[in-house]
Amino acid sequence: MLQRLLELVAEGGLRSCADLARELGVSEGLVGQMIEDLARMGYLRPVADGCETQCAGCPLAETCAIGSPTRVWALTEKGQLPDART
């Protein structure tokens, strides 16, 4: 199931947890847990943990109209499995 998740993500573009949950036939909660596990194993990497990392150090953060309260993960090099693409 983890491999299938990585395959779905590797198809490219942006996937939401709900989208992945639907395709894998499990709940969003379980997808969240799998994502955390994959991140721990080094297959995924958190991109931006909301505003803190995204806006830290930006002098115009307070005038910025759009924060980013969402969590985003990217496939790591390890996550782009050669056999996951088959």
Contacting positions for other proteins (CB under 8 A): 1-4, 6, 9-20, 24-27, 29-30, 32-35, 37, 40-41, 43-44, 47-48, 54-55, 57-75, 80-81, 83
CB of 76 to other proteins, least distance (A): 10
Task: Give the residue with the Cβ less far from other proteins, 52 or 70.
Answer: 70
CB of 52 to other proteins, least distance (A): 13
CB of 86 to other proteins, least distance (A): 11
Residue whose C-alpha is closest to residue 30's, from 50, 49, 4:
4
* 54: amino acid identity, one letter: Q
Distance CA 86, CA 68 (A): 34
Question: Do residues 34 and 2 make contact, with C-beta atoms less than 8 angstroms apart?
Answer: yes
